[in-house]
Amino acid sequence: MSETHNFVVLGASGAGLNIAHSFLRHIGPELKELGKVYHVYIVDSSSHFFWNTGSPRSLVSATLLPADKLFAPIADGFKSYDASLYTVIHGTAEFWDVGGRTITIKLADSENTQTLPYYTLVLATGTRTPSPATSLHGNYTISKAAIADLNTKLASATSVIVSGGGPTGVETAGEVGQFLNGSAGWFSYRPSNPKAKVTLITDADRLLPVLSKPRALKAETFLNMVGVDVVYNVKVLSSVNEADGKITLNLSNGEQWTADVHIPAWGTTPNSDYVPADLKNDRGYIKTNGTTLRADAAGSRVYVAGDVGDYSRGGFHNLYATIPTLVTNIKRDLHAAATSSEPDAKPEGPDRLFTPNNSETQAVPIGPRGVGAVNGWGLPSFLIWLFKGRNYMIGNIPVTVNGYNAPTP
Ligand SMILES: Cc1cc2nc3c(=O)[nH]c(=O)nc-3n(C[C@H](O)[C@H](O)[C@H](O)COP(=O)(O)OP(=O)(O)OC[C@H]3O[C@@H](n4cnc5c(N)ncnc54)[C@H](O)[C@@H]3O)c2cc1C
């Protein structure tokens, strides 16, 4: 038997989990037939996967969607494999030695670091939102505590500001409005007995940039129907926590607004601090060959998966569209290396190429209603509710963690 090669996956969310499972299930066994032994390392700052798709409802009230339902242990998803084939590491990639082909990881459960050599590297560390209630900021316990804190504050809130006019902001404002104000009845455009002043502010002149203008306007109407007002062309510049627990926002229009709760839902940041500057674009996303999904400048057998790549449009449906390309090209590269005396041998024949789908595709629940489209075809409000708003698709959690949909390359 030859030496063991390390297949290292950084980030165990939608992108990283799919690739790790696809390797363990399909690619690894084929390489073993060729006499090549691999060990898969799955590295994540959080011990648990976070289905943040459900966070707009969960952060409003534990009664509506308990936060516990949104988290699942990453290690449990790999229990079906031979334990000698993989290791799940709870830790944060802090330093990447590109020339030396190692990743240094700060381990979560000690003061120690571990430097891991890699033969193949998959970068899938995603992005984070300003609030830990809507994305991981380290271990999942931080997000769980942030959700619980918002649950407590919103229970008695009479003024709430949500900032950000993308899907997270619109969904969150819709959930807050529905929870605090209820929904308009028949032939009415406002709830009859609102408890709170809920405002969604955006620095853009419209909501939901992925969707058409008419659908964006419909989203505003649906927000009004759960007692949410929308303010356009205003940006939050800074915020100050007041002694009485309220928060004051300094806005780009020169005004100051004070509310019981502010939920920021704009501005994602790529988790790429460990990546050398020359391998990132000016916004911090990892430079990737947008068709083969290799990080060409980072040496052989380095791939970028999911939202941290500069090619990504964000969102699970866009991410899943890239996985077949990634696993096919990973398999091609590793087969070429396995069957050649030259470790950096290039595979014969054409790579599988990724073509982005730039169509109007998004589903946005807004309280009991919703707007959305698939490939430009509008979806009726009740279908958005049925497909997503009913339970924010939490059935996808075991599918993702256990890799049930991991593709065969
Ligand atoms: C509130 C919210 C709602 C959303 N709803 C939808 C939706 O309804 N539909 C949809 O299609 N998309 C939705 N999205 C987008 C979707 O969540 C992302 O597209 C998807 O999660 C991206 O997956 P990823 O694997 O690329 O990265 P992420 O999900 O961002 O995961 C990155 C992983 O890497 C880990 N990590 C980060 N840095 C390090 C490091 N240095 N070392 C080790 N591990 C690290 C993190 O802990 C995390 O587990 C939503 C996003 C948000 C914020």
Q: What is the pLDDT of residues 315-337, one digit of tens each?
A: 998 999 999 999 999 999 999 99
* pLDDT tens digit sequence for 47-84: 999 999 999 999 999 999 999 999 999 999 999 999 99
* Ligand 1 geometric centre to CA of 306 (Å): 8
* Ligand 1 geometric centre to CA of 314 (Å): 9
* Ligand 1 geometric centre to CA of 13 (Å): 6
Running DSSP on this structure, what letter comes out for residue 39? E
Give the Cα separation of 168 and 216 in Å (integer). Answer: 14
Cα distances (angstroms) measured from residue 154 to each of 181, 246, 262: 12, 12, 10
Pocket test for ligand 1, best of 44, 50, 65, 388 (most atoms within 8 A of CB): 44
Tell me if 4-131+268-358+392-401 shares its fold with 156-265: yes
Are 146 and 138 in contact by the 8 Å Cβ rule? The answer is: no
The confidence score (pLDDT) of residue 341 equals 87
The confidence score (pLDDT) of residue 185 equals 87
Are 20 and 372 in contact by the 8 Å Cβ rule? The answer is: no
* Ligand 1 geometric centre to CA of 15 (Å): 8
Ligand 1 atom 10 nearest Cα: 315
List the 256-259 sheet strands across, edge first: 236-241, 247-251, 256-259
The confidence score (pLDDT) of residue 344 equals 87
Nearest ligand 1 atom, CA 317: 11
* Ligand 1 geometric centre to CA of 2 (Å): 36
Q: β-pairing, 37-44 with 86-97?
A: parallel
Nearest ligand 1 atom, CA 318: 11
The confidence score (pLDDT) of residue 338 equals 93
Ligand 1 atom 14 nearest Cα: 315
Are 352 and 360 in contact by the 8 Å Cβ rule? The answer is: no
Ligand 1 atom 23 nearest Cα: 14
* Ligand 1 geometric centre to CA of 269 (Å): 11
Give the Cα separation of 157 and 136 in Å (integer). Answer: 25
Ordered by start, the domain boundaries in the chain are 4-131+268-358+392-401, 156-265
* Ligand 1 geometric centre to CA of 193 (Å): 37
Nearest ligand 1 atom, CA 50: 49
The tokens for 195 are 């408890």
Give the Cα separation of 293 and 307 in Å (integer). Answer: 12
What are the φ and ψ backbone dihedral angles of 297, each rounded to 5 degrees? -80, -5
Nearest ligand 1 atom, CA 125: 34
* Ligand 1 geometric centre to CA of 382 (Å): 27
* Ligand 1 geometric centre to CA of 396 (Å): 14
Helix, strand or coil, per DSSP, at residue 214: helix
Pocket test for ligand 1, best of 171, 316, 385 (most atoms within 8 A of CB): 316
Q: CB within 6 Å of ligand 1 — which residues? A: 10-16, 43-46, 52-53, 55-56, 92-93, 124-127, 129, 134-136, 168, 271, 274, 306-307, 314-317, 319
Sequence letter at residue 337? A
* pLDDT tens digit sequence for 159-216: 999 999 999 999 999 999 999 999 998 888 999 999 999 999 999 999 999 999 999 9
Which regions in the chain score pLDDT beneath 50?
A: none
Q: What homologous superfamily does CATH list for 4-131+268-358+392-401? A: FAD/NAD(P)-binding domain (3.50.50.60)
Instruction: Tell me the percentage of the chain whose pLDDT exceeds 70.
Output: 100
User: Among 3.40.50.2000, 1.20.810.10, 3.20.20.370, 3.50.50.60, what is the CATH number of 156-265?
Assistant: 3.50.50.60
What are the φ and ψ backbone dihedral angles of 7, each rounded to 5 degrees? -110, 105
CA 390 centroid distance within chain = 20
The confidence score (pLDDT) of residue 187 equals 86
Angle (CA) 128-288-8 rounded to 5° is 70
* Ligand 1 geometric centre to CA of 401 (Å): 13
Are 370 and 389 in contact by the 8 Å Cβ rule? The answer is: yes
Helix, strand or coil, per DSSP, at residue 308: helix
